[in-house]
Structures are given as structure tokens and as C-alpha cells.
Structure 1
Amino acid sequence: MTEHHDTSPVDPVNVSSDPEDVQKVRDLMESMDIAMLTTTDSSAPHERLTSRPLSTQVAEDDGDVLFLIRRSSAVARDVAANPHVNVAYSSMKAWVSLAGTATIVEDRALVEQLWSKGADAFMEGGPENPDNVILKVSGDTATYWGGDSLVGLAVKTAKAVTGRDKDEDDDSGATVVELP
């Protein structure tokens, strides 16, 4: 799915489908454990967006991500009602916003493979519990910014804020990556 992304001179965005950018998105997501998953809460009187922290189990080569969740959770109910989601990652050096579609995967072997001590702390019954399932987010696009050293990020931020040293080849803005 290809989407049009509006840009303005104050918010420069580069659009790419380069495999190196797809890999950079994956690497950035792999480097940040906790993500904020945003779903549409259809149980509210007026649909509203709701974000929840989840620990990424796998960031796949094509930009898809896997999370362990409970089938009986509000997240699973929201996804069943509206599968369009956003997954946001942030660190001191970079941020990634992954837009895509979520599905529930009921694969006991995969749940067992992804199970960890961290999952034990937040989910009951271990990987054998049929309520413990996989949430797979298939990314359409990912927008990222940063990923360089903290010094490089500080320089880019200062340039972006002040508008100094801007030239036509400057790629200091966010990059939108069309995922395979």
C-alpha cells in the first residue's frame, strides 16, 4: 500500500523504498525494546486512539514486528474491531513510527519460541496458556529520524530548529520508508 505523505519546508521528509532504509528501520526497532502500540478503542462512546507499551519480541527483515499479548486483552479486542495500528519507538538517538495492520497469530510453537522471563512477569500460564498469543503488525510504511551518534543527532537537531546550513542535498529530515 502506498500512501501520500504531505511535507512542508519546515518538516522535511524523504521518501524511500531502498532496502538499506528498510534494514535501518529494522535495526532501529531491534535496538529499542519497548514500543507504544496505538489502536482504536472501539468500546469507547466515541472511538478514540489508545496507546499501550509492549515489548518487541521480533523485528522481522521486512519491517513487521511480533509481540506477545493475551487474546482476552483490550489490545486484541481493539485489533479485532479495527486492525489499523501504529507502533512507535523512541530513544535518545532516534524514533520510528510504523504504520500497518495487526493480526492475532495463534501458533503455540511460535509463542513458546518467543517466550521469555519478561513474558512470565506480565502474562499468566506460560506459553502453554491458550490465552497467550502473538500480535503481528505488518508494516506498510515506517517513518524514522536519527539513528546516528548523539553528537550527530544534536547537530542535525540544531540545524533543523534554526534552519541554518540547509542546502538542497540536506537529508536531515525524517525518512518515510515504503515497506515490502
Structure 2
Amino acid sequence: MSQEELKQKVLNLLEEQKVGTLATVEQDKPHTRYMTFFHEGLTLYTPTSKETHKAEEIEKNPNVHILIGYSGEGFGDTYAEIAGTAALTDDRELIDRLWSDEMEKWFKGKEDPNLVILKIEPTSIRYMNEGSRTPAELSL
């Protein structure tokens, strides 16, 4: 498959699947949790509190790994492995764009001073589990 076809498959997957795992590094070991992801192109975003362990971990080591897309019974779903670098941002325009009332479970509204967005810029993306055509690595 061409790089353009592969990019479109990854973008479609990111549009369809919002929940994935985010792994950070804590004391030289992976620390993984489920997160909800939004995207603009291949850049990923996820809201978090600046008071969390993940915020501390990312400030010490911005390298992260995401798995997103596997939602079935364990056989055959396509998914993406995304390695990237993360940064915390309190960009109000970005928070306004990503805000959902569902986030009120964790935040006191979009003006909550602890609400920040993790912005993840991919350094590598592998599209997985589509038969003999994968794994396929997207050139970034």
C-alpha cells in the first residue's frame, strides 16, 4: 500500500477510535493507562490534570507510546502503534476546541486551572494487524 493510502488508514482509525493506551516512563519503566484521544492530522491530544503522575513523568521524559484501535474480541482488529514526544500545554484555544461536558467528571469546567492538554507529536507510526499488508510503517 502507498504511503498516502497508509496515512488515510491511520487517520480513519484515529477518527473511529478515541480510547487507547498511553505509556510514559516512570523510574526507567513503562507506565501505561487508558486515555481518550483527539487528533488534528497525525498530532494527538488528550486532556489531563497537571497534578497527575503522567504530567510529572512527561516533564522528566517526553517520550511516550500509544496503542489505539483494538476494540474487538481479540482477533483481527487493526490498530496503530504510535511513538512520539509529548508536551503539556494550557493553550486556551485548544482547550476550548477539545472541551466536552463529559470532562466534568474530572475537571471543574474548562476554566479549571489544573486542566492541561497533552500534545503528542508522532515520531513513528506502525499500522498493525491488516493481514499480510502489515505491519506497515508510515513515513513521517
- TM-score of the superposition, structure 2-length normalised? 0.87
Question: Would you say how many aligned residue pairs link Structure 1 and Structure 2?
Answer: 135
- Is residue 64–residue 83 contact of structure 2 (8 Å, CA) maintained in 1? yes
Conservation of the 8 A alpha-carbon contact between 1:111 and 1:134? yes
Which structure has the larger Rg? Answer: 1
Q: 86, 111, 135: which one pairs with 2:95?
A: 111
1:76 and 2:55 aligned: yes
**1:177 and 2:138 matched:** yes
Contact 2:86–2:120 (8 Å) recurs in 1: yes
Given the alignment, which residue of 144, 149, 155 partners 2:127?
Answer: 144
Shift in Å at residue 135 of structure 1? 0.2
Shift of 1:82: 0.3
CA-to-partner distance for each residue in 1:41-77, whole Å, 9 max, x for gaps? 13xxxx2100011111x2221x110101101111111
Q: Percent identity?
A: 26
Structure 2: give runs of 5+ residues left out of the alignment. none
- Give 1 or 2: higher strand fraction: 2
Contact 1:143/1:174, CA 8 A, preserved across alignment: yes
Alignment of 1:9-158 (within 5 A): 18-42=3-27, 47-56=28-37, 58-61=38-41, 63-89=42-68, 90-92=70-72, 93-121=77-105, 123-146=106-129, 156=131
**1:94 deviation in Å?**
0.9
